[in-house]
Structure 1
């Protein structure tokens, strides 16, 4: 790149500053300023836009985050070798570069799981880079970006809904901008904005922030292809203070996908709205010409639910960035995959996640990361255009994970790329690959992978961590490379993967019209307890699955092309193979309940440098059990100075949550009482099916479910025909239209269609991370927690009365729920087990008095118990024999327990009748008067039978007190006898074994 391409009037001034600061020797001798991500700091002085990314470039050093081992790797771009790895906070997700007051570079690393940003000082020598500071910015800081001038750094705290402003000169947080309460939170300021992608215009004047998940537009409904819209917020930057002002919302509406769906036998055009807006990238020469690009996973939820209908690969665009920014439409990358270039496999571009222009000032081409398909997708972006490289059906892609190419297979495979950076000359790209833990180096002249650099180690061969790594690969890949030469079985031509609808194992916030009805993409973090991986929730909103392996049906029939006619299933998709173990046979049929799907013959995966072949579907199950992290809750003012969330409100909300009896449904370590309590298959567990052979209304779908896991709180049709919180945004209660020739589908599960007492209600969701996982209810009828608590039927379900009948009380409960995560202290439960009952003495004799007691256990905190029951609760001890029963009540308070999650001892004395027959029974009832609402009332009573013994024979010799003789009548104790033939002897003694010993 030549200097003549840059604005001359700014060049001389900045060259002078560079010389004064001594930066000429600090930076590389290549001309800076021609790459799209956080480039060499020379770019900061030349009006080059910047954006957040997991990989950055400066001074010929590539920086990238390693989320799984909490580190940052530094790569020498001159030799393309790993130089150093620096440990930072928990789960780093993004890195940005800025100057400190010594003109050294500081790397700012956003540690999402730690709620912190680590600052690494770098003086030009990668070997000397050192972590020097840690700043707490807010909950879940996912992305970070530096202003082009290098003087301020901005952090998107995704769970806090804030942007932290850091002054780079002294690494100090100087201000915070609240997006939730701003004009950018369109529609409802109670919505969770979830700031994610960050980008700053080249002049440093504007920060663009993407809202990660989309919400309904005005008049929109869930489950509708045009029902939602994306939002990007533009904020004005004060170049002196770094402060953010003047929030301006840019809405990104749904648009035609270019594909059709067969509905009622007619090919019908489909639309999709942008969603999962992870990245914002700005390219262009000056604010008047700059364009903002947003790769994202667009959603078309209305159905039919099929791979080439439901998710799309959009790159949205915003123009007029410095004026009145507006949406400039979107390009659906999938359209460019319909006809691949000669010699290439047809692969679609799942999950566009990141993007870079070959030259951020005068771009001609751009490369989009397809995170699901392990591809780089090349586009033309010259002069503000956005189109494919060949024609409307074809665009070039670079395969990072081609098993037939030694450069991209084995240890060189690039799996799940999440970020891209291009060097200053625009000749090389570096792609950060999350699952394979390496970096693919791309020659942009030939558009080919030339080298792969390990960024950090893979798990040890044969370890559980390696199994989880295989499971992660199955979750995040839309293709799959398997033992035995099998490839591309995870979806049809790489169209989508599990993460397409379950970001990081969570949710995409969409209401998909499934075969059972409209259903939110369930956050999988609540499927297993983070504290007990054997504690599993029943699956799906209508309890239609009982095993993770049941979702093999989704791999085949949603992501794959679907069933072939009859019982002959597609042999090229899915992870299960024939039950005879033949890898080349059509896979066995998948059923929800009749037979277990766990442990069936399946494809295996062997990672590079390992000799362990892991069953793929089993590894996927284990990943869901152990590896999905619940997002952190919002930080309060006690944890983050200046937070608008008050700890006092959270404390009161927690008390009210329990007082209202919410834990009756949302208890346990998953915060749901939905617990799979049988071994698959269900066996004698009754499954139900609602059907109507006549096909007239109502016409419910004939999907099996297990009724006893459903709870009815009146949410069927909520927000559809019955407003909630004044809104009608709930998805229509109809099934996937692919199930029927009808245009509308069957009636969805959720009510009792045949009046047999089964079917009403839904499987109780977990509350783990609930504040970060909107919308709410099965059909998305509520988009905020405030809306959920406006439902009186729901909030009264725990106690049968409306404890939360004021707006202030409900607001406090919302405050508590916004903080609820995997570390939140569990809902309280009191319980007693049979073995906790004791007697003193241990052996009980008839005709005696015995002390009967029990150890009462508290699962929870003493503070919660005091808040729920300040006066204490009763424990009833009942002793029963054939002679009758005797009960005594003892009151316990929190002070009687030895500790949180501890025990209290209760005792009382009982008389054992002397003439009793048979054994005795002791019954202990905890909270016998129902003062404390718990999630497991069934463990509040325990019974123990005890044997009652006859008293043992008295073999204790008496104690002689005195001896008398007399021949008088009556007997004379003091008789003085000289001689006699008729004498009587009197012995006075005491029996020490007598209950009341006295001389006799």
Structure 2
């Protein structure tokens, strides 16, 4: 969920690997050596007297302390229950803590860190609330994405649900080998995931965990829920009854030292009638609707039953709020007997149909957790409605059945976010509750509220909030993180509270859906997917994962949205808020927009008005339109709500981690069970490239769909499938607008649909029928025969393993099924090429690679050429002379030392290829590129024509298309060359000894002075010397989004009067952004000849009182050169966010890292480095933002012979061991106009 995206580093030391596991282990061992020893008998004296379950909030066995995880700042808060005061915040747990389990003796806590792939072990040395002391003892790498953790009631075993690894890790807490992983349970290859080999290719994604009280011999049952539901035998996608949930029953003994006797057995959870009706067939008769359980995040045992709150899915048409998502609590009985039985579900939405208690009518969106006041007999249950910010009260019968508290249509609730009540408004609002615990007396409940970063204390006698405790700080007012926080609030809210003047006539609350029924997260868990195929207005469509909407390494690289390109902005989903989640238009003639729902307001900014027009893609851009605003507690800023949500999707949706390899699990102290074979992954990457998969799934977002236009798209890009026949005659296409230029056709329309004659060989036909919500023919086919509209917008492969099913209509539930589709897998091959995936072994290896793609996976390589990459040496083209015509060919992605087949051809043309009169100047071989994101230069000789004037030089890379890429459009570039007459001065001038600010290493101001020497040397006998006349200074900074040096174009200017020593000094202004800056100086003589470049570098470091900002995932690069024995210290002090700092000795991609500081949270990061003996040494300092950060930078030098700083690093941090850039800006010059200098681009 995070929801806040952490560091994203492309790792190239092999495709796989966590660079710092060994370092993290060494720290774990050092910390462990200093721990306080606790006798086993003492530790295991206490037990929990009831079943335990996973949760983001936990209550100590003696009910004195509440522990809450804080996913956004990687910390855990501890609150004492007698005063409701926060007594501790433990920072430096792993990345994105999501769940916590407590030792019944109050001596250890265990935290599951989803993004960190680890469990933090916290030692409690003093559990007295008045003198509380605890610290992180160590971290254990258990597997990918450990979302939930639970301890057995006897305290002997801890169970960890590694969601992306499909395993349950088991940690022993008793001696010997206390707090170590004794093994893992493989759920993917178990009966719980299916009986057939094909079914066991599915991604189980274990989430909720619960453990029964062990019997006298230690036998206990662990329940683990499967997060997403899969198609049942005989079922299909897009059908209310098509899928089933699963809870896995694991038999285990908490005294066993291994897992040899573990048993696994699934219990299936069937779809249930929802209790809501709708006319699905248009015959005037209301039909029953059903829904299947889905998004099973938690499970709680009470008595002989287990309870699983979830967001049930009812995907059949029509798509309307009250018949799509439902608030289920599914139950199984027989927990204590060992034979589980599906005990059906209660739909809590039915209890929201009537209100007689004076409260507003609100539905209960996104049930996420549940807790009980008693463990047997009659009692009450409180279910968390994460979207509506409510606690839903249910009556629990003695037999465990759930009922509503008042009537069949009404049940009580507690509002945690009522803006009209001081106890629950402003800073006291409880937003997006994700967990709940109730004390043993059944009198008080505590809720973990994720978005508001606080904990609500609820008196269960009065069902009122009596206290709210802040668990972590909200973002600083007026910061970019504040914008992201508002965007997150909108995304996870089904109601919403908005700002507005006192005389506002429209509603300033409950605008996001009809009476709180659902929110964006109802279908996009954590911004990802619910795995449901909905019968949308464009046809059957999976809720597409939003993490691939933007390149996680470049927030300016966006994919066109949806499977058919029907949206190009997140803001285009305003109609969904109004018409799918909301009640739709007002019942007027003609229908009018409801001013009390949605986020856009009147075009003139009138808060009481409605937008005109309301569009999904064409007409107007929806970003930046007048809209409702949100004001966070403690801030004076009114943040536009819809735009903020777009920014949250753009920057903060985290791609799930890939499964860990066997070696990584072993190195991290985990169990190798479920580990991935790294060799298979590397082999699969090769097959990926051989099969041409990158033609549709390349680049940093793993999709060749690019939004390369400003919104709204030009009319010529927008297509509507016209109806070629009369009404109700086939084909009968829907009239949705879409951008068809991004579509790729792999013949997947009607794929896997029963009876449609487009099966996936050897796979069950489960695809959803190609009809939209109005029963018209779906998009994806060229229904009107105009040559447009065939195919689908290629989805991103980022985290693809964690977001099944696959294809727009869910025709495949596994990646292996996708590769069995011959039409698809061969769509990227060259004409006549053999299919490298014909062999089953090759397909299996490609599946391993596809499952490994996350935001840290190096992208498929792409070649790139820009017009500024074309150059001449000498720089001036003189008629009748011979020059070298060259091109810098850039690589976006991992190095390719040898192109196979190859070499590739780089062809230089005088004129446009294929045009009359065009001639080939020459052809050069491109054998390979040896550096990641590197550049290779090729050259050919050119005899400059004698005809004066301008000519167009074209360069084409790999015209034969030997190397498959996602973007072939950037393989050709052209530039204009100005041919000059031959003059008497034929020798170019020279530049030397360039120095910025007298060769200083650092400047605190962007204004700088550049000094250089320039001469116009004598040439051959008879040549004239015209003398240097003009200069040009080109400045560079490094851009980590595009992985290139960015130049600033500079014109030639007249040289100033020379200094006394014959040098020249000119003023320049560096780009006002901290980091290294290069300047290249060229001079031109009076005859028009241009020198080669001289250069120097300086690091711009604003004063130590200057606040600097760094957007998450971005990096700043500093470079300094020190004399032997000289030292320098950089101190980065964040006031917001989290930065990590590395120092490399030397300027190359092979430069060794000599120092690193990478603490969690806003901690000061300091690195010190010293130049060794032997002469001047250059150093590269890189600061990366793990979260959007505000920091100050102080630099001290002249420290003498200081020791290198020791590595300081938080466990489980992923810090690259190689520099992000290892070269300098290229020195060739490209000149378009006689007076303008351009410098080549070197990266995408």
Q: How does 1:826-905 map to 2 (within 5 A)?
A: 826-862=859-895, 865-866=896-897, 869=900, 871-879=902-910, 885-894=919-928, 897=930, 899-905=931-937
From the superposition, tell whether residues 448 and 707 of structure 1 become closer, same or farther in structure 2 (CA, over 3 Å): same
Moved more, 924-933 or 249-258: 924-933
Cα distance in 2 for partners of 1:210, 1:580 equals 50
Answer yes or no: is 1:477 the counterpart of 2:493: yes
Counterpart position of 1:755: 785
Higher relative helix content: 1
Deviations 1:688-733 (A, max 9, x none): 2123343311111111112212111101100102221421100011
- Residues 534-613 of structure 1 aligned to structure 2 (within 5 Å): 534-564=556-586, 565=588, 566-592=590-616, 593-613=618-638
1:109 matched to 2:106? The reply is no
Q: How many residues align?
A: 907
Higher gyration radius (CA): 1
- Aligned partners of 1:638, 1:856: CA distance in 2, in Å? 36
CA deviations on 1:188-229 (whole Å, 9 max, x unpaired) are 000000000000112261100000000000000000000000
Q: 2:679 aligns with which of 635, 648, 657?
A: 648
Once the 2 structures are TM-superposed, how far is the Cα of residue 119 of structure 1 from its aligned partner?
Answer: 0.5
Question: Helix, strand or coil for the counterpart of 1:118?
Answer: strand
Mapping for residues 721-760 of structure 1, pairs under 5 Å:
721=756, 722-724=758-760, 725-736=762-773, 739=774, 745-760=775-790
Residue pairs, 1:163-178, within 5 angstroms? 163-169=168-174, 170-178=178-186
Residue 714 of structure 2 is aligned with which of 675, 683, 692? Answer: 683
| In the alignment, structure 1 residue 674 sits paired with structure 2 residue 696 | no
CA 1:236/1:991 → structure 2, altered by over 3 Å: closer, same or farther? closer
**CA offsets, 1:854-873, max 9 Å, x none?**
211111111xx247527532
Rounded Cα–Cα distance in structure 1 between residues aligned with 2:571 and 2:897: 43
Deviation of 1:363 (Å) = 5.8
Distance 2:489 2:877 in 1: 62
43 and 421 in structure 1: CA distance in 2 versus 1, 3 angstrom threshold: farther
Report the Cα offset of residue 893 of structure 1.
2.9
Deviation at 1:886, TM superposition (A): 4.5
Give yes or no for contact 1:295–1:352 (8 Å, CA) kept in 2. yes
Alignment correspondent of 1:122: 124
2:167 matched to 1:158? Answer: no
Q: What residue in structure 1 maps to residue 691 of structure 2?
A: 660
Q: Offset of 1:884 from its aligned partner?
A: 7.4
Distance 1:868 1:320, change over 3 A: farther
Matches within 5 A, 1:429-828: 429-484=445-500, 486-564=508-586, 565=588, 566-592=590-616, 593-641=618-666, 642=672, 643-692=674-723, 693-720=726-753, 721=756, 722-724=758-760, 725-736=762-773, 739=774, 745-800=775-830, 801=833, 802-828=835-861
Indicate yes or no: 2:965 matched with 1:938. no
Residue 983 of structure 1 corresponds to none
Q: Which moved more, 1:194-203 or 1:638-647?
A: 638-647
Deviation at 1:20, TM superposition (A): 10
**1:281 aligns with one of 294, 300, 316:** 300
Identify the match of residue 90 of structure 1 among 72, 83, 95: 95
2: distance between equivalents of 1:621 and 1:686? 23
TM-score (norm: length of structure 2): 0.71
For 1:144 and 1:938, the matched residues in 2 are separated by 49
Please tell me whether the aligned partners of residues 49 and 360 of structure 1 are also in contact (alpha carbons under 8 angstroms). Answer: no
User: Helix, strand or coil: the match of 1:762?
Assistant: coil
Runs ≥4 residues deviating over 6 A: 880-884
| Greater relative contact order, per chain length (Cα 8 Å cut-off, separation 6+) | 2
146-155 or 925-934: bigger deviation: 925-934
Counterpart Cα distance in 2 of 1:949 and 1:336: 85
8 Å CA contact 1:350–1:371 kept in 2: the answer is: yes
Q: Deviations over 1:569-622 (max 9, x none)?
A: 112111111223222234544112112222222111111111001111111111
How far does the alpha carbon of each residue in 1:533-586 deviate from its partner, in whole angstroms, 9 at most, with x for none? 222211111111121111000000000111234341112111111223222234
Cα distance in 2 between the residues matched to 1:596 and 1:842: 44
Asked if the contact 2:901–2:962 (Cα under 8 Å) also holds between the matched residues in 1, the reply is no
Q: Secondary structure at the match of 2:737?
A: coil
Deviation at 1:677, TM superposition (A): 1.1
Tell me the CA shift for residue 912 of structure 1. Answer: 3.5
Partner-residue secondary structure (3-state), 1:468: helix
Q: Matches of 1:315 and 1:143 in 2, distance apart?
A: 19
- The Cα RMSD (Å) is 2.3
- The answer to which of 396-405 and 123-132 deviates more is 123-132
Hey, what's the Cα distance between the residues in 2 that align with 1:795 and 1:546?
27
Residue 683 of structure 1 deviates from its aligned partner by 2.7
Q: From 911, 919, 930, give the equivalent of 2:943.
A: 911
Distance 2:498 2:577 in 1: 15
Residue 71 of structure 1 corresponds to 75
SS at match of 1:775: coil
For residues 423-459 of structure 1, the C-alpha deviation after alignment (integer angstroms, 9 at most, x for no partner) is 2222211100000100000111111111111101111
Q: Look up the SS of the partner of 2:435 in the other structure.
A: strand
SS at match of 2:860: coil
CA drift of 1:952 comes to 1.8
Correspondence list, 1:297-376, <5 A: 297-321=311-335, 322-362=337-377, 364-376=379-391
Separation in 1 of the partners of 2:492 and 2:438? 24
| TM-score normalized by the length of structure 1 | 0.88
Are the structure 2 counterparts of residues 618 and 56 from structure 1 closer, same or farther at C-alpha, using a change threshold of 3 Å? same
Q: Do the aligned partners of residues 20 and 648 (structure 1) sit closer, same or farther apart at CA in structure 2, a change above 3 Å counting?
A: closer
Spell out, residue by residue over 1:449-507, the C-alpha distance to the aligned partner (whole angstroms, 9 max, x if none).
Answer: 11111101111111111111111111101101111261101000111111000000000
Deviations along 1:296-316, whole A, 9 cap, x unmatched? Answer: 000000021111000000000
Q: Give me the whole-angstrom Cα distance separating, in 2, the residues matched to 1:792 and 1:109.
A: 45
Determine the C-alpha separation between the residues in 2 that align with 1:197 and 1:844.
71
SS in 2 for 1:205: strand
User: Would the aligned equivalents of 1:883 and 1:916 in 2 still touch at CA under 8 Å?
Assistant: no
Distance across 2 between alignment mates of 1:880 and 1:469: 53
Q: Tell me if structure 2 keeps the 8 A contact 1:283–1:363.
A: no
Gaps of 5+ in 1: 1-17, 27-40, 285-289, 740-744, 957-989, 995-1000
Match of 1:139 among 140, 144, 147: 144
Indicate how the Cα distance of structure 1 residues 751 and 22 shifts in structure 2: closer, same or farther if over 3 A, else same: closer
Deviates more, 1:180-189 or 1:117-126: 117-126
**Alignment partners' CA distance in 1, 2:624 and 2:369:** 37
- The DSSP-based 3-state class of the residue aligned with 1:129 is strand
1:184 matched to 2:192: yes
In the other structure, the counterpart of 1:295 is 309
The answer as to whether partners of 1:659 and 1:868 remain within 8 angstroms in 2 is no
Q: What is the CA–CA distance in structure 1 between the aligned matches of 2:985 and 2:695, rounded to whole Å?
A: 55
Q: Aligned partners of 2:712, 2:911: CA distance in 1, in Å?
A: 41
Larger deviation, residues 414-423 vs 179-188: 179-188
Whole-angstrom CA distance in 2 between matches of 1:591 and 1:919? 47
The alpha-carbon deviation at position 839 of structure 1 amounts to 1.5
Following the alignment from structure 2 to structure 1, what is the Cα–Cα distance between the partners of residues 872 and 458?
76
> Do the aligned partners of 1:438 and 1:456 also contact (CA within 8 Å) in 2?
yes
Q: Secondary structure at the match of 1:324?
A: coil
Corresponding residue SS for 2:604:
coil
Aligned residue for 2:262, secondary structure, equals: strand
Which ranges in structure 2 are unaligned for 5 or more consecutive residues?
Answer: 1-37, 501-506, 667-671, 988-1018, 1024-1244
Output the CA distance in 1 between the equivalents of 2:578 and 2:717.
Answer: 27
Q: What corresponds to 1:37 in structure 2?
A: none
Distance 1:867 1:309 in 2: 56
